[in-house]
Amino acid sequence: MFTVTLMAQPGGLETSTVEAVYGAWGGSQLNWLSGGEAAAFALPVLPDNQWQVWADLQKLQIDLVVQASAGRQKKLLLADMDSTMIQQECIDELADVAGVGDRVKGITARAMNGELDFNSALIERVGLLKDLDVGVIDRVLADRITLMPGGAALVSTMRANGAYAALVSGGFTAFTSAVAGQLGFDENRANTLIVKDGKLTGDVAEPILGRAAKVQALEEIIQQLGITAQDVLAVGDGANDLGMLKIAGTGAALHAKPAVAAECSVRINFCDLSALLFVQGYPRAAFI
């Protein structure tokens, strides 16, 4: 069996739209997870026109996910941080303060879209931060970093239902430790900026945590937990997330770069992170 989930911003999901898809595909067990926001139903087979219907619903700003019904509720949340659990790219914010914002943002955008090697791009960008006062990190955290809507509910609800949550970022530990603590992640992994005499040296500690390291993190954590990759919900937005997104039982591209979204079957383009609870079958009333 398969489960179809339709989701929109609150009030954006019309009953008529849900019933039209439900009827056309011959669905059963229609269940409203949140009125005007999310609904799910069962299907015996995958529809041939899944992606055409998906494209049509995109015009209405509705996200559509079709997945196997078995094992939808996951035991591990593996999440990227920048532009995923937070609304910014931390290195871009640091660069803006350092006066090299435009240059670094351009490199970041190309790296996240898969146009540049992630490791080389990170080294180049960090090099532009040389001699930046380390105190800037705390100021950026306080003044510029905001959480992605729905993230707190995603982490809290999954953990309350027995899941483990890991924040795995190509960003920096100075940020992941703060964000992980605020959201309640069980652990966090990221790159380390090297500091000397209270200033950034322009170097990042080796080995760099990039695409391969995120896959490694997934493999290490599922082994520790005694689960399989099918038990994992991974979420990210950039090219360096594709490895873990493809291996995870549910790999969700959140407001992702085009090159990333094109390779993922679970694409959340309009809803916030709470959509990933609906995708697992949690009703809004069960959110923590």
pLDDT in tens, 204-247: 999 999 899 999 999 999 999 999 999 999 999 999 999 999 99
Of residues 48, 56, 63, 80, which has the active-site annotation?
80
Measured CA to CA, the distance from residue 78 to residue 161 in angstroms comes to 15
Measured CA to CA, the distance from residue 122 to residue 280 in angstroms comes to 34
CA 166 to chain centroid: 12
pLDDT in tens, 151-200: 999 999 999 999 999 999 999 999 999 999 999 999 999 999 999 999 99
Give the β-pairing of 28-34 and 63-68. Answer: unpaired
Report whether 117 contacts 147 (CB < 8 A): no
Report whether 281 contacts 4 (CB < 8 A): no
Measured CA to CA, the distance from residue 106 to residue 6 in angstroms comes to 34
**170 and 249 share a domain?**
yes
Report whether 137 contacts 94 (CB < 8 A): yes
**64 and 91 share a domain?**
no
Residue 231 annotated among the catalytic residues of the structure: no
Residue 204: both structure tokens together = 């990042």
**21 and 148 share a domain?**
no
**56 and 151 share a domain?**
no
Boundary (domain end) residue, out of 29, 50, 70: 70
Amino acid (1-letter code) at residue 19: E
**151 and 224 share a domain?**
yes
Helix (H, G, I), strand (E, B) or coil at 287: coil
CATH number at residue 55: 3.30.70.260
**37 and 121 share a domain?**
no
Residue 80 annotated among the catalytic residues of the structure: yes
Residue 187: both structure tokens together = 């652990």
Of residues 48, 56, 63, 82, which has the active-site annotation?
82
**114 and 245 share a domain?**
yes
Report whether 286 contacts 280 (CB < 8 A): no
Boundary (domain end) residue, out of 41, 70, 99: 70
Euclidean distance between the first and final Cα of the chain, in Å?
28
Q: Where are the beta strands (DSSP E) in 58-179?
A: 63-68, 76-79, 164-172
Q: Domain range holding 96? A: 74-288
Q: How many domains does the chain have?
A: 2
**165 and 216 share a domain?**
yes
Query: What are φ and ψ of residue 91, in 5° steps?
Result: -65, -30
Residue 112 has pLDDT above 90, yes or no: no
Residue 257 has pLDDT above 90, yes or no: no
Report whether 188 contacts 167 (CB < 8 A): yes
**172 and 261 share a domain?**
yes
**66 and 173 share a domain?**
no
**89 and 112 share a domain?**
yes
**22 and 97 share a domain?**
no
Question: According to the model, what pLDDT value does residue 259 have?
Answer: 85
pLDDT in tens, 48-59: 999 999 999 999
